[in-house]
């Protein structure tokens, strides 16, 4: 496979991110991976250096035929809020106004799966963040993918993703292949 082609501007921006000491480590690591791919480094050598499997890196760059890659992650404890007053109408020189206070409706967990090739996102909100909710989301993924395709899941090392019930369910579904990445790095 030919190396990833990056413009000078992209390289400069990625180098700034890759050398940052203040950005989240996952962003720095992603920038380092993309720069290495642009430099012609192989998936295997990148994976060894970063601590991923070569297959995980390859899924982003060259997804397999007759398969769909899904990057799976969740955002927990999202505040469910509602405004106490309706939006104020816009004026000629004014932006739409909102009140400063809100009503809290508890929290929710957002599960999301990014289709690597098409850029589409499948989502589901659940009240809790446990293995049962994650299994429900995996079933939604299974129902959304055509039966003739394998499913390559890229997930971080969250304990929910590696729970015994989740592993058992995945083992019973031969079309699912799981690739674990470091925590917070599944959305490369």
Query: Do residues 124 and 136 touch, judged by C-beta distance below 8 A?
Result: yes
Query: Do residues 176 and 161 touch, judged by C-beta distance below 8 A?
Result: no
Pair of tokens at residue 27: 């962003």
Helix (H) or strand (E) segment spanning residue 140: helix 131-144
Residue 141 has a pLDDT of 93
- Mean pLDDT by runs of 10 across the 188 residues of the chain is 80 91 81 86 80 66 77 78 68 66 74 81 86 91 91 83 88 85 64
Nearest to 142 by CA among 163, 111, 173: 173
Residue 8 has a pLDDT of 92
The strand pair at 102-115 and 176-181 is best described as: unpaired
Q: Does domain 53-81+94-181 have CATH number 3.40.980.20?
A: no
Helices 8-18, 25-38: axis angle to 10 degrees equals 140
Residue 54 has a pLDDT of 64
Tell me how far apart the terminal alpha carbons of the chain are, to the nearest angstrom.
Answer: 19
Q: How many helices (H) and strands (E) does the chain have?
A: 6, 5
Can you name the residues that pair with 102 across neighbouring β-strands?
Answer: 83
pLDDT in tens, 141-166: 999 999 999 998 888 877 788 889 98
Pair of tokens at residue 158: 């969250």
All structural domains of the chain with their residue ranges = 1-41, 53-81+94-181
Helix (H) or strand (E) segment spanning residue 25: helix 25-38
């Amino acid at each position: 496979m030919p190396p990833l082609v990056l413009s000078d501007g992209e390289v400069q921006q990625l180098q700034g991110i890759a050398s940052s000491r203040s950005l989240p480590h996952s962003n720095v690591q992603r920038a380092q991976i993309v720069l290495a791919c642009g430099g012609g480094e192989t998936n295997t050598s990148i994976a060894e250096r970063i601590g991923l499997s070569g297959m995980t890196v390859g899924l982003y760059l060259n997804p397999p035929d007759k398969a769909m890659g899904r990057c799976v992650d969740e955002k927990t404890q999202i505040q469910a809020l509602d405004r106490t007053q309706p939006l104020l109408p816009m004026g000629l020189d004014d932006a739409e106004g909102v009140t400063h206070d809100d009503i809290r409706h508890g929290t929710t967990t957002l599960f999301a799966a990014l289709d690597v090739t098409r850029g589409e996102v499948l989502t589901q909100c659940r009240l809790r963040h446990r293995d049962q909710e994650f299994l429900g989301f995996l079933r939604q993924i299974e129902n959304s993918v055509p039966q003739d395709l394998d499913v390559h899941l890229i997930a971080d090392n969250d304990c929910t993703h590696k729970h015994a019930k989740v592993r058992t369910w995945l083992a019973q579904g031969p079309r699912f292949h799981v690739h674990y990445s470091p925590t917070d790095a599944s959305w490369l």
